[in-house]
Structure 1
Amino acid sequence: MTAPLWFSTVPPLWLQIAITGAWIGLLGLLAEWLHRYTDTGSEVVRKVVHIGTGNVILLAWWLHVPAWLGIGASVVFSAIAFLSYRLPILPSINGIGRKSLGTFFYALSIGILVAWFWSIQQPQYAALGVLVMTWGDGLAALVGQRFGTHSYKLWDMQKTWEGSLTMAIVSALVSFLILLAVQGAIWQTWLISLVVAIVATGLEAFSKFGLDNLTVPLGSATLCFVLCQLLL
């Protein structure tokens, strides 16, 4: 991996931590402000944090944050997220007793992807998996709740076609932009992005109890990695 474009060398560890920490801190403050001082619904607040937090993977990629730091942060936030379902640690993100473990799976998936793809010097796949979850799943939920009028049911879960379509479009766009930056506008970029989007949408639709925050990023990243190995 080469140094980020705006650095002549890989930035020192303290700067990497300061930049990523500042980003996460700002998101936390934003969530608490929305929760306490506005009438923004709790689900919207969760999705704002969901979308904003996922972009930390881009900072980790561009700043060359070491794998141990990303994995360590994942462990810490996974533990906090798990405890928050029983204790009022993150009231703006999780309700006490909430049945979904989505925030826990979210933090866990980032750690797994960093551990895997940082170790083989292929961080773009980790970024792709996390951002498909971050933007695709996040916007799908918001669009489905706000504009979803055509619903369908899988098991006992209510979904909307508007939300699923948003998931597919955003997942394809995210995948395409990352692959475009890494390998260019070749036909494989278009095909792989389309396949990843379809599979990610299926994983999001069929996953229960917040498990999509684990299946979507891991499934998207793994599929993209395998297809790139086969087609490039």
Structure 2
Amino acid sequence: MLTLVADLSFIPPLWLQIIIVAAWVSLILLIAWLVKRFATDEPEIVRKIVHIGTGNVILLAWWLDMPASVGITASIVASAITLLSYRFPILPAINSVGRQSLGTFFYAVSFGILVACFWYLRQPQYAVIGIMVMTWGDGLAALIGQKFGKHKYQVLGSQKSWEGSLTMTAVSYAVSNLILLGVEGNVWQSWVVSLAIALVATALEAVSFLGIDNLTVPLGTAALAFALIELLSF
């Protein structure tokens, strides 16, 4: 099985890597603030800008070949800040979505768990799949569902729309397929595993009480991708 590594002739030193990531996160927060200040009062849009923008940090960590300790430390710090934000107005724009949810906390925790697991196994692409499916799949599904979701259904008391769920399936498939094609190559396993990831991600996202999907989707899809590729690669 092939493993994709960062195709860089020069890997920046750790201090520069941290500056690059910090600059990216700062840019996303600035964009979110500007959107909230001048464009819209809808908190869910601002939250998804942060959700999607910060999730892409996993790509920077992968491409820059950052050590796992940095990602785990960042996850711990972010988890602590998000927990405090539920009690104090530290991140009002992110958590004020009109519903009780621990989604932001679970999001930060899942990042650390995936980095700890798959950086250790030297298979970071699976951590990237898990976070990217959550970042883009769930992020766009929520926006599409809110804007265009006319056909509703309920799972365990959580209301979803078929439009949002179909978006989750399509985006999850596209994201996981792009990553697997880059790592495994254009083989049938990449296409089949991507379909399985998309279907499981959609099912897990549908069960999202208290924001638990921000934990189950990235962990579940990453574990599924790893297991299926290992099983089918012979």
TM category, shorter: over 0.9
TM-score calculated relative to the size of structure 2: 0.95
Q: Residues 90 and 10 from structure 1, CA distance in 2 versus in 1: closer, same or farther, beyond 3 angstroms? A: same
Distance in 2 (alpha carbons) for counterparts of 1:64 and 1:98: 37
Residue 179 of structure 2 aligns with an amino acid whose one-letter code is: I
Q: Could you tell me how far apart the structure 1 residues matched to 2:102 and 2:4 are?
A: 36
- 2:29 maps to 1:32: no
* Match runs of 1:145-184 below 5 Å: 145-184=146-185
SS at match of 2:209: coil
Corresponding position of 1:227: 228
For residue 115 of structure 2, what is the aligned residue in structure 1? 114
2:118–2:124 CA contact under 8 A, matched in 1: yes
Instruction: Tell me, yes or no, if the aligned pair for 1:84 and 1:96 is still in contact at 8 Å.
Output: no
Q: Secondary structure at the match of 1:158?
A: strand
- 1:31 Cα shift? 1.6
Whole-angstrom CA distance in 1 between matches of 2:206 and 2:142: 11
Q: AA paired with 2:134?
A: M
What percentage of residue pairs aligned between the two structures are identical? Answer: 61
Shift of 1:95: 2.3
Aligned residues: 231
CA RMSD of aligned residues (A): 1.5
Deviations 1:60-94 (A, max 9, x none): 00001110000000000011011111111011111
| Contiguous gaps of at least 5 residues in structure 1 | none
Name the counterpart of 2:72.
71
**Greater mean deviation of Cα atoms: 154-163 or 30-39:** 30-39
Distance 2:166 2:56 in 1: 22
Shift of 1:96: 9.2
Any stretches of 5+ residues in structure 2 without a counterpart? none
Please give the secondary structure, in 1, of the residue aligned with 2:94. Answer: coil
User: Which moved further from structure 2: 133-142 or 84-93?
Assistant: 84-93
3-state SS of the aligned residue for 2:29?
helix
Q: Output the amino acid matched with 2:152.
A: S
Distance apart, 1:41 and its partner CA: 0.6
Which SS does the other structure have where 1:152 is aligned? Answer: strand
TM-score normalised according to structure 1 size: 0.96
Deviates more, 1:32-41 or 1:142-151: 32-41
